[in-house]
Amino acid sequence: MIRILRYAVQYYYMDDVRQVLEKLDFSDSEADLYLALLRKGESTASALAGKADVYRRTAYDSLDRLRERGFVSCVEKSGEKIYSPADVNIFLDVVEEKKQELGEVEDRIKGMVPELKKKHGSEKEKEVKVLMGKRAVKRLFYHEVEVGETVHLIGTPLKSEEYLDTFLPKFTRKRKEAEVPIKAVYPREMKGEVGKYPLLEARYIEKEKGTPVSTAVYGDNVGIVLWIEKPLVIMIKSEEVSRSLKNYFDLIWKAAEPE
């Protein structure tokens, strides 16, 4: 296994291995030293420091931390410490530990939420929420499933399909299981580009290309997404606002061109 990982680092997948190390909480210096060690097979701390371009003192401290975590082993030869990568199965062990930790955190959060709702009055949702980032978009989509009513969607740009490429299949499965349909009015540029999703009825209108805004009306809720580099999501809970935008959707739907 070590030989395979060394081969990957030397020839193909160094960036991929580094990303994995970062996910496992390696610091920059720890990642640099570990990758250098994989290339060499075994080495002294001073040689690794030169290879990884880190200070020698930093190299010793970082290698000690990696030893404590089980990623690096060390033996003495002729009075000198020689470091080598430990069995790479340690990665699987660490991932399993993280799964268990996340499971424990999830259980604790589930236990805390009811009490927090009582203390902070969040049972009655705030009128408007403004969120940012990909996680905010996912929260909006999942909220649509939780509400469980038809989603009336206007103006999703092409970049949304690209931005949520790996997330959309998972979301679609949940939406299908919950039997939540979508009626969508897309800009004409999306014709032929929208995925063939279940419970989706689409129509098209002429609209300025690259429009960065989409609006979803579902039940008494409205979700507005600004598809900028770091998406901005506005979630509104208001019967009056949703009713007004639903009427607007109906007008556009009648004028739009069917699939």
DSSP alpha helix (H) spans, the chain: 2-7, 14-23, 28-40, 45-52, 56-69, 89-120, 134-147, 158-163, 168-177, 239-255
Tell me whether residue 44 is in a domain. Answer: yes
In the numeric block, which tokens belong to residue 228?
Answer: 């900028």
> In which element (H, E) is residue 26 found?
none
- Residue 241, amino acid: V
**What confidence tens digit (pLDDT) does each residue in 204-255 have?**
887 654 467 889 999 999 999 988 878 889 999 988 899 999 999 999 998 8
Task: Give strand pairing partners of 73.
Answer: 84
147 and 38 in a common domain: no
- At which residue do the structure tokens 């290879």 appear? 51
What is the structure's pLDDT at 8?
A: 44
What is the structure's pLDDT at 173?
A: 87
136 and 58 in a common domain: no
Tell me whether residue 171 is in a domain. Answer: yes
143 and 25 in a common domain: no
80 and 17 in a common domain: yes
Tell me whether residue 98 is in a domain. Answer: no
The DSSP output letter for 121 is T
76 and 6 in a common domain: yes
What is the structure's pLDDT at 102?
A: 75
- The CATH number assigned to the domain holding 39 equals 1.10.10.10
* Helix 45-52 / helix 28-40 crossing angle, nearest 10 deg: 110
Q: What span, in angstroms and rounded, lies between the C-alpha atoms of 155 and 181?
A: 17
Pair 22, 32: CB distance under 8 Å? no
Question: How many structural domains is the chain composed of?
Answer: 2
13 and 76 in a common domain: yes
The strand ranges marked E within the chain are 72-77, 80-85, 128-132, 151-154, 182-187, 200-205, 213-218, 221-226, 232-237, 257-258
**What confidence tens digit (pLDDT) does each residue in 150-159 have?**
999 988 766 6
Tell me whether residue 101 is in a domain. Answer: no
pTM above 0.85, yes or no: no
**What confidence tens digit (pLDDT) does each residue in 168-205 have?**
788 888 889 999 999 988 887 777 666 577 888 888 88
Tell me whether residue 23 is in a domain. Answer: yes
Contacts of 69 (CB under 8 A, 6+ apart): 90, 94
Task: Provide the domain limits for residue 199.
Answer: 128-258
**What confidence tens digit (pLDDT) does each residue in 117-145 have?**
666 554 455 588 888 888 888 899 999 99
Tell me whether residue 225 is in a domain. Answer: yes
254 and 139 in a common domain: yes
220 and 156 in a common domain: yes
Q: What span, in angstroms and rounded, lies between the C-alpha atoms of 144 and 168?
A: 13
Please state, as a whole number, how many other Cβ atoms lie within 10 Å of the Cβ of residue 221. Answer: 22
129 or 111: whose pLDDT is higher?
A: 129
Q: What span, in angstroms and rounded, lies between the C-alpha atoms of 228 and 137?
A: 12
Average per-residue pLDDT in the chain?
Answer: 80
